[in-house]
Chain A
Amino acid sequence: MVHTFSALGYQIAVDVNSGAVHLLDDASFRILGLAEGPLGEALPESLRRALPDYTREELEEAWRELLELQGKGELFSSDDYVDPNRSVPRGAPVKALCLHVSHDCNLRCRYCFAATGDFGTGRKIMDFETAKKAIDFVVRKSGARRNIEVDFFGGEPLMAMDTVRKTVEYARSIEKEAGKNFRFTITTNGMLLSDETIEYINREMDNVVLSLDGRREIHDAMRITPGGKGSYDVIVPRFQKLVKSRGDKDYYARGTFTARNLDFTQDVLHMAELGFESISVEPATGPKGDPFAVGSAELPRVFEEYERLAEEMKDREDFRFFHFNVDLSQGPCVIKRLRGCGAGCEYVAVTPEGDIYPCHQFVGKPEYRLGSVHDGSFDMGISDVFAGLNIYTREDCRDCWAKFYCSGGCSAGNLLVTGDIRKPNSAACEMERKRLECAIALRAAESERED
């Protein structure tokens, strides 16, 4: 399978199965757009007639170069990966926890997928005993995996700092003996950040996700206090302080854009102006009819905006955009790319009550409850359904050119929009493909700069 596209003034071919990416001139681009692979030895006469703007010599020369790439396995290469034993991780170790230390929040964001913090299950803080059992659970279930990720999530996790501190301390106290390496992340709205918590986070957390939507008026229209006040002025100086003293440790300034601010490039650039170098903005998700959710109707505008953002980033290196960070040569192996996010098998969420769900977005949906850290239960029946999801078993993924980059998308997003974890949400797929085209074109621009 070969995907050809134009972006940022480049004409690009992605050989899907090998991962090879080629920059093409007009003649070779137009040939590939018309030719069906695999290519034969001779340039078909029908193709020559279809491209009268080029001389026979030009077309034959381009054809020979395309043939050479095909011969090297870099064009129309075969898919050798369909091996159920490698693509379905049955009984896979659980290696990542989304620990919902707080089902309470001090903001009332209007687009919140977690029902303003409590996931519809009542406002509650996780006690340390439950968190400790969650740590024991992941150590027990992680088998030979050494790296264990724990994301302190909510609600607002800074409302549960006592649990966070005790959990980190406990995990650190057992990791050596257990042969594990814990990596902590915290996702915060910033309202409770103090100098002391900033110092703690920068010392203990391998990654921190800072929720900021961009421009003040955009942020404050959505991210409001229970009293209805915007939060921008409170959080921005604290986030800047945190980032300034973070050194080279990972962080993301992470925003949500909705159907009401489709000019999100302005928000990304605003975050860059504020001094944030690692930036992500994500489309708001929601069922059909949700006034904020970004869906099919918004796609043309969203595509235009991703192109605008990529164009802006073409000549600057002062910030990175999460979805454009595709490393063509050093990214994850193809085995990882077959399986995707790992929700429900490698990755689970634990609620303040100790209930286990496939991921944070399934919390509050009783039919997806996997078990509890209190009694050690874990429903392998449900887990295996998730483990069985990959780019070959998910409807529509098998024939998608982006399958090895996106790896099957988001099961929770699918459920929300299509009612089926297996059936991709087509609007999300189209946005992902557009982001990937921009990301690959940016690598082309980089390569040109290096030359």
Chain B
Amino acid sequence: MKHIKTLNGPTLKKSAAKGGCGECQTSCQSACKTSCTVANQKCENKNK
């Protein structure tokens, strides 16, 4: 494409299929304790 460069594809949609295992870290535990960002957590699903 000449006008657009895709930085990331539709990964969120794809993650719906095998998501929800619940093994990932609780977001508030890692550092913030006062304000959340969930998107900076790691996925721990071994079966995706």
Q: Which residues of B contact A444 (CB under 8 A)?
A: 7
The segment from A34-42, A170-178, A430-438 that touches chain B is A430-438
The segment from A146-154, A237-245, A261-269 that touches chain B is A146-154
CB pairs A–B below 8 angstroms (13 shown):
A18-B9, A18-B10, A20-B8, A27-B3, A74-B9, A145-B22, A282-B32, A282-B33, A330-B43, A332-B41, A341-B38, A346-B26, A435-B37
Q: Please report the C-alpha to C-alpha distance between residue A246 and residue B22 in the assembled complex, in whole angstroms.
A: 28
Q: Are A21 and B7 in contact (CB under 8 A)?
A: yes
Q: Which residues of B contact A405 (CB under 8 A)?
A: 37-39
Query: Which B residues lie at the A interface, using CB under 8 A?
Result: 1-13, 15-16, 18-45, 48
Q: Which of B10, B37, B42 contacts A432 (CB 8 A)?
A: B37
Q: Which of A24, A250, A428 contacts B4 (CB 8 A)?
A: A24
Cross-chain pair count, CB within 8 angstroms: 233
Q: Are A77 and B3 in contact (CB under 8 A)?
A: no
A223 an interface residue at 8 Å Cβ cutoff? no
Q: Which residues of B contact A447 (CB under 8 A)?
A: 7
Q: Which residues of B contact A55 (CB under 8 A)?
A: none
Given contact pairs A332-B43, A333-B45, a sample of 20 additional A-B residue pairs in the complex whose CB atoms are under 8 Å apart: A17-B12, A65-B2, A72-B10, A77-B13, A96-B25, A147-B23, A147-B24, A185-B29, A209-B31, A282-B34, A323-B32, A326-B37, A331-B11, A332-B19, A341-B27, A360-B33, A407-B27, A407-B36, A410-B28, A443-B7
CB distance from B13 to the nearest CB of A (A): 5
Q: Are B31 and A62 in contact (CB under 8 A)?
A: no
A98-B38 contact given A74-B9, A86-B20, CB 8 Å threshold:
no
CB distance from B9 to the nearest CB of A (A): 6
Q: Which of B26, B32, B48 contacts A342 (CB 8 A)?
A: B26
Q: Which residues of B contact A336 (CB under 8 A)?
A: 19-20, 22, 24, 38, 41, 43
Q: Are B8 and A406 in contact (CB under 8 A)?
A: no
A330-B42 contact given A147-B23, A347-B28, CB 8 Å threshold:
yes
Query: Closest residue to B48 on the A side, CB-wise?
Result: A333
Q: Which residues of A contact B10 (CB under 8 A)?
A: 15, 18-20, 72-74, 77
| Chain B interface SS verdict (over half) | loop
Q: Please report the C-alpha to C-alpha distance between residue A325 and residue B2 in the assembled complex, in whole angstroms.
A: 29
Closest A-B pairs by Cβ, 9 of them:
A333-B19, A19-B12, A18-B10, A335-B20, A407-B38, A333-B15, A405-B39, A96-B26, A328-B8
Query: Closest residue to A342 on the B side, CB-wise?
Result: B26
Q: Which of B9, B27, B30, B35 contacts A431 (CB 8 A)?
A: B35
Query: Closest residue to A279 on the B side, CB-wise?
Result: B31
Q: Which of A15, A73, A323 contacts B37 (CB 8 A)?
A: A323
Q: Please report the C-alpha to C-alpha distance between residue A278 and residue B34 in the assembled complex, in whole angstroms.
A: 17
Q: Are B6 and A69 in contact (CB under 8 A)?
A: yes
Q: Within residues 256 to 302 of chain A, which ones have a CB less than 8 A from any CB in chain B?
A: 256, 278, 280, 282-283, 285
CB distance from B30 to the nearest CB of A (A): 7
CB distance from A428 to the nearest CB of B (A): 6
Q: Are A409 and B35 in contact (CB under 8 A)?
A: yes
Q: Which residues of B contact A341 (CB under 8 A)?
A: 26-28, 36, 38
Q: Which residues of A contact B2 (CB under 8 A)?
A: 25, 61, 65
Q: Please report the C-alpha to C-alpha distance between residue A406 and residue B35 in the assembled complex, in whole angstroms.
A: 9
Q: Are B38 and A20 in contact (CB under 8 A)?
A: no
Query: Closest residue to B45 on the A side, CB-wise?
Result: A333
Q: Are B16 and A335 in contact (CB under 8 A)?
A: yes
CB distance from B12 to the nearest CB of A (A): 3
Q: Which of B1, B22, B29 contacts A65 (CB 8 A)?
A: B1
Q: Are B31 and A347 in contact (CB under 8 A)?
A: no
A28-B27 contact given A322-B40, A336-B41, CB 8 Å threshold:
no
Q: Which residues of A contact B31 (CB under 8 A)?
A: 209, 252, 254, 278, 280, 322
CB distance from A326 to the nearest CB of B (A): 5
Q: Which residues of B contact A340 (CB under 8 A)?
A: 27, 36, 38
Q: Are B3 and A285 in contact (CB under 8 A)?
A: no
CB distance from A324 to the nearest CB of B (A): 8
Query: Closest residue to A151 on the B side, CB-wise?
Result: B29
Mask: chain A, 313-328; 1 = CB below 8 Å from B; 0 = not: 0000000001111111
